[in-house]
Amino acid sequence: MTADAVEKLLADVCGTLARAGFDVASAGDEGSPGLRVRRDTDSVLVGWVPGSELDPAGREDAVFEGIRAALRSALLAILTQAGHAVQVDRESGEVRVRLLA
């Protein structure tokens, strides 16, 4: 996949998620919580960083797996319906998005 194709895929994924009600405007802000949409070599990765409001005590072990699982399910459904090939990246837990061939 060319760099232009990945850039177009990134824009399409961001647009799809915005239409589904997700706030993707702040997705590129490294220091802020929320949805993260980023380019990879031949795909786009979508993940989530929790805000401090969810864990005011700042526990190191707070992984929010229930929230992550629900979000992954929603992302898989939304992006599949939009015509993308999606899968969960085993290492990061993020959703990997590719164009259907």
**CB of 93 closer than 8 Å to CB of 72:** yes
Write phi, then psi, for 52 (nearest 5 degrees). -65, -20
Write phi, then psi, for 3 (nearest 5 degrees). -60, -35
Closest C-alpha among 46, 41, 57 to residue 20: 46
Q: Is the pTM of this model over 0.75?
A: yes
Q: What is the pLDDT of residue 74?
A: 97
- pLDDT tens for 14-42 read 999 999 999 886 555 666 778 889 999 89
Residues whose CB falls within 8 Å of the CB of residue 7, separated by 6 or more in sequence, listed in order: 39
**What are the residue ranges in the chain where pLDDT is below 70?**
25-31, 60-62, 101
